[in-house]
Structure 1
Amino acid sequence: MKGVVPVTLGLIGFGAMARDIVACFPSGEIDWRVLRRGNATRDLPEGIHAVDSLGALIASRPHLVVEAAGHDAVRTCLPPLLAAGIPVVMASVGALADPATFAAIDSARRAARVPLVLPSGAVGGLDYLSAIGHLPDAEIVYTARKPPVAFSSDLAAQARETGQAITLFQGTAQEAAQLYPKNLNVAFSIALAAYPSPVTVRVVADPAATGNQHEIAVSSTVGTALFTLCNRPAPTNPQTSAVTAMSMAAAVRRVLQEREMGA
């Protein structure tokens, strides 16, 4: 709208997810400041401006920063951003499975009293998990079932040859997030919501899967629950559900609305 000053937001990374997040906002609504690996500035669309360092991103004083670049970016960028008083909306939640990373980020967040937002991403029902997580008998099993192409070309070929689903992993959410940093960030989001109850994670490559399928099965003294979601993969990234970028964008809008209401 003419006369409206764009809101300045930071963005770490400009891969498939970041592009999808940007596409969720009308042109001209956001003044994006993008920090990319190697400080690459090529192929940036109109209205998106590169910054050449984390210091320059902080100096631009964005209203918030969206992380969409992976676990390494979380470790190096989030503590300084939070310490500078800048809210962060985080995609790579699985990076918090590393105790040192978690401690550094939590310390910076608490000291600056600034929000660190963990969107629900590809799943729902996290409020239910938070409600029953303290029950001593709660049992929670999360199954991620995706087409083999979401994992590796070798695995895809194996699954096509056998036509059978392959269980790649069963264990804790922390192990899953570290073994599959591009596929299982959502597993650690579920574990954080359900804490202190443990979450058993199953990872299945299934040639019959019609999309990225997520199943959360819960049993406790207060009842049972089964959350099943089947998400279409992002067109340019089969490892990620298309709805994940929309969840990130919704989280950004909530932070901006809360900031406006508190101003």
Structure 2
Amino acid sequence: MVTLGLIGFGTIAREIVSAFPPDSCRWVALMREGARPALPANVSTVTQLDALIDARPSAVVEAAGQEAVAAYVPALLDAGIPTIIASVGALSDPVLATRLTDASRNGGARLVLPSGALGGLDYIRAIAALPDARVRYTSRKPPAAWAAELTSAGLSAGDGAITLFEGTPAEAAKLYPKNLNAAFAVALAAGIDKVSVSVVADPKAAGNTHEIEVESTAGTASFRLINAPSPNNPKTSMLTALSLVAALGELLDREGPR
């Protein structure tokens, strides 16, 4: 039975665990002190990073936010443990990005950045070297996904769409650390200086919608993904957990269980 690690045990982590047969792996979840979630039989918890490292998981999946990436992932990589991060927006901090790259190299462990809720990143990576390449990413979600933000700004979506943000991927990652990892995934594929980001609360949005428009000398492209929200978190697409499961499966196939 393979041992796998998790950082956090919220909605995404639960969906990851449920995607694997219960008798195929043992999970060790790193959680904050005092957390008492209901756990499946094959999931145990630890509250210290050293305890997770001592469990020697074949891989760890981060599903706890950008702060968790900074706090835990460099040490995991230094210890030689491959790690998949859901919160790719953490790499908007160049100091942290360098720490992660160095730790991956020093520990000989892969740092995996999954596609998350997106598609089309292979096209974007292909045109990234073109000097005239430009990418516009728009996150368009129903107002329920942005209820707190709308209330804080004194806004009501009513029948019309409201643009909550326009700016750079790094600004978006800092303002919306739990919700715009997809925007920074686009930026990592294209180059941060080539991408602009918009966030829209739209009553007519059919789901969590990602719109990507690309222009370059190689041509134009437009991607529109309408993702069903997670039943337990309207800000998170169901596809996010599925992407992490796929990335974990590929990692285990490539490196094999320990």
Comparing 150-159 and 64-73, the one that deviates more: 150-159
Does 2:62 align with 1:103? no
Spell out, residue by residue over 1:19-72, the C-alpha distance to the aligned partner (whole angstroms, 9 max, x if none). 111111112111000111226344112110112310000001000100000111
Relative to structure 2, which stretch is displaced further, 179-188 or 148-157? 148-157
* Alpha-carbon separation, structure 1, partners of 2:8 and 2:245: 15
Matched residue, 1:169: 165
Aligned counterpart for 2:198 among listed residues 171, 195, 202: 202
In structure 2, how many angstroms separate the alpha carbons of the residues matched to 1:153 and 1:98? 25
CA spacing shift, 1:128–1:258, aligned 2, 3 Å = same
Alignment counterpart, residue 131 of structure 2, candidates 136, 154, 157: 136
Contact 1:71 1:95 in 2 (8 A): yes
SS at match of 2:209: strand
What is the count of residue pairs matched by the alignment? 256
Are 2:251 and 1:255 aligned? Answer: yes
What is the percentage of aligned positions where both structures have the same residue?
53
Partner secondary structure for residue 198 of structure 2: strand
Secondary structure of the residue aligned to 1:85 is coil
Q: Secondary structure at the match of 2:156?
A: helix
Separation in 1, partners of 2:67, 2:32: 10
Q: RMSD over aligned Cα, in angstroms?
A: 1.7
Which residue identity is paired with 2:141? K
Moved over 4 A (4+): none
What is the rounded CA distance, in whole Å, between the counterparts of 2:199 and 2:224 in structure 1?
15
**Which one is further off, 200-209 or 20-29?**
20-29
Q: Distance in 1 between matches of 2:103 and 2:36?
A: 29
Structure 1, unpaired ranges of 5+:
1-5
Aligned with 2:256: secondary structure?
helix
Deviation at 1:196, TM superposition (A): 6.0
Give secondary structure in 2 for the equivalent of 1:175: helix
Give the 5 Å matches for 1:14-163: 14-38=9-33, 40-153=35-148, 155=150, 158-160=155-157, 162-163=158-159
2-structure distance, mates of 1:196, 1:166? 25
1:131-154 C-alpha deviation (Å, 9 max, x unpaired)? 000101111100110011112346
Partner deviation per Cα, 1:207-254 (whole Å, 9 max, x = no partner): 111100001100111111101100010000111100110000000000
| Mapped partners of 1:159, 1:180: distance in 2 | 19
Determine if contact 1:140/1:216 at 8 Å carries over to the other structure: yes
When normalised by structure 1's length, the TM-score is 0.93
Find the residue that maps to 1:40 and give its secondary structure. coil
In 2, Cα distance between the equivalents of 1:257 and 1:240?
A: 27
Structure 1 residues 41 and 55, CA, compared in 2 at 3 Å: closer, same or farther?
farther
Using structure 2 for the length normalisation, give the TM-score.
0.95
| Alignment partners' CA distance in 1, 2:191 and 2:144 | 31
* Letter of the structure 2 residue corresponding to residue 26 of structure 1: P
Task: Say which of 218, 224, 234 aligns to 2:220.
Answer: 224
1:89–1:118 contact (8 Å) kept in structure 2? yes
